[in-house]
Amino acid sequence: MRILLTGADGQLAKEFIKNINPVDLYSFSKEKLDISVEKDVRESIRYVKPDILINCAAYNDVDRAESEFDIASSINSKPLIYFSKYCYEYKTKIIHFSTDYVFDGNKKELYRETDNPNPINNYGRTKLEGEENLKDNYENYIIFRVSWVYGEGKQNFISKLLKWSKNSNKLKISTDEISIPNSTSFIVGAAMKAINNDLTGVMNLVSSNWTSRYNWAKRVIEILKINIEIEEAKQKDFNLPAKRPFFSALNNENIRKTLGIEIKTWDEYLNEFLNRKKEFFYD
């Protein structure tokens, strides 16, 4: 089994690396494989001849994507055409990660895989384009839609929250942005089961229950026993370049029933992660 993994420096990729036999794994950081360059993609795939390609490379700066659409598209969208083109020869299964931001947040209930996407920001648009490029050009793939990912990285909400807490004794967090936090350990564990069961198609990969940014922040502060006040706010109070869906929580029923697995609540996974990784956040 030969596995090619992109975006090796990211928090999701690092979790995959911990869970894959190194004998099988060919992991590439951006410095070794820039997926926006077709020639680099072609050469890497032809070198590895992968049975599985796990694409963890992504442009995730939601606000900067509003002014850098072409750059975001060159990472989130166009490479899926390159992967499809050069993986065909080796019958490679392509594993790709998308987002709840492909939805506009107007449904008011959990989004299913069959709901029609309608992104309201450029980040979501580029991720939806990536989905469509893969679906239009390839058959053997899994697209996992995830949300609010956190792990051993500095570019997730938990790390940012703790950084902000060092410079202030009071933080304002939005109550009207609702989705589902997900640890990389949960995502990778379920994704590997789906891969091993040779699943295909689009699948929501999220923990159970949903919450607001505000309540998520409150739980992080409570678990880590940080003395700081969290105040309620609205998205409009921050005047950010990119709009966020008000409610973009995903329904995990499909993957849960297909794999026959139990999926715990976001709060349970958060407790497990923070109690296991407290030292990481105080580095």
* CATH classification at residue 111: 3.40.50.720
The pLDDT value given to residue 165: 87
Average pLDDT over residues 185-199: 97
- pLDDT confidence tier of residue 220, bands split at 50, 70 and 90: very high
Give the number of domains in the chain: 1
The pLDDT value given to residue 154: 81
Domain membership flag for residue 222: no
Domain membership flag for residue 114: yes
- pLDDT confidence tier of residue 283, bands split at 50, 70 and 90: low
Residues whose CB is less than 8 angstroms from the CB of residue 165 and which lie 6 or more positions away in sequence, other chains included: 171, 221, 226, 228
- Tell me the percentage of the chain whose pLDDT exceeds 90: 91
The pLDDT value given to residue 279: 62
Range of the domain at 192: 3-154+181-210+248-265
The pLDDT value given to residue 280: 60
Domain membership flag for residue 48: yes
Residue 36 amino acid letter: S
The pLDDT value given to residue 282: 54
Reported as a single tens digit per residue, the pLDDT across 21-35 is: 999 999 999 999 999
Domain membership flag for residue 241: no
Strand 141-146 versus strand 201-204 pairing type: parallel
Domain membership flag for residue 164: no
- Residue 176, CA distances (Å) to 173, 213, 235, 237, 278 in order: 9, 8, 7, 11, 28
Domain membership flag for residue 118: yes
- Predicted confidence (pLDDT) at residue 238 exceeds the cutoff of 70: yes
The pLDDT value given to residue 48: 98
Average pLDDT over residues 188-215: 97
Q: DSSP strand E in 175-225: where?
A: 178-179, 182-183, 201-204, 211-212
Domain membership flag for residue 47: yes
DSSP run (H or E) holding 143? strand 141-146
- Predicted confidence (pLDDT) at residue 229 exceeds the cutoff of 70: yes
The pLDDT value given to residue 44: 98
- Predicted confidence (pLDDT) at residue 87 exceeds the cutoff of 70: yes
Domain membership flag for residue 192: yes
- pLDDT confidence tier of residue 200, bands split at 50, 70 and 90: very high
